[in-house]
Amino acid sequence: MKNYARIAIISVAFGTAVSAAPFLAIGDGAELFVTGTLGVRADDNIFTTDKPISDTIFDINPGVEITFGKDAALKGALTLVDSFANYSDNSNLNTNLFTGDFNAAFDDAKLKLKFNTGFHELNQNAPDIRGLTRRDQFVIGSGAEVEISQITSVAAGVDFDHTNYKRAGYGDSDTLTVPLNFYYKWTAKTSLSAGYRYKDYQTTVGLDSSDHYFNVGARGELFSEKLTGEVSAGVTTREFSRGGNETLPGFEAKLTYEITPKTSLQLGGSNDFGTSPQGAQQKNLSFNGGLNIKLDDQWTLNGGLNFRAVDYYTRTEDYIEGTLGAGYIVNAFVKIAASYTYRNNSSPLVGGDFTQNVFSLSASLRY
Q: What is the pLDDT of residue 356?
A: 97
Compute mean pLDDT per 10 residues along the chain, 367 residues long, and list them: 38 37 66 96 97 97 94 94 98 97 94 98 90 95 97 98 94 97 97 98 96 98 95 98 96 98 98 95 97 97 98 96 98 96 96 96 95
Q: What is the pLDDT of residue 250?
A: 97
Q: What is the pLDDT of residue 23?
A: 57
DSSP 3-67: HHHHHHHHHHHHHHHPPP---EE-SSS-EEEEEEEEEEEEES-TT-SSS---EEEEEEEEEEEEE
Q: What is the pLDDT of residue 11?
A: 39
Smallest Cα–Cα separation from 317: which of 326, 307, 302, 328?
307
Domain assignment of residue 287, given as a range? 2-366
Q: What angle do CA 160, 163, 167 make, to 5 degrees?
A: 170
Q: What is the pLDDT of residue 9?
A: 35
Residues 6+ apart with CB under 8 A from 99: 79, 80, 81, 83, 118, 119, 120, 121
Give the 3-state secondary structure of residue 93.
Answer: helix
β strands within the chain, DSSP E: 24-25, 31-43, 55-68, 74-87, 95-107, 111-122, 135-147, 152-165, 173-187, 190-203, 209-222, 224-240, 245-260, 263-275, 281-294, 299-311, 316-329, 334-346, 354-366
Q: What is the pLDDT of residue 28?
A: 73
Q: What is the pLDDT of residue 130?
A: 85
Q: What is the pLDDT of residue 101?
A: 98
CA 61 from centre of chain? 18
Q: What is the pLDDT of residue 198?
A: 98
Q: Which helix (H) or strand (E) holds 278?
A: none
CATH number at residue 221: 2.40.160
pTM: 0.89
Q: What does the alpha-carbon distance between residue 230 and residue 291 come to, in Å, rounded to a whole number? A: 18
Total domain count for the chain? 1
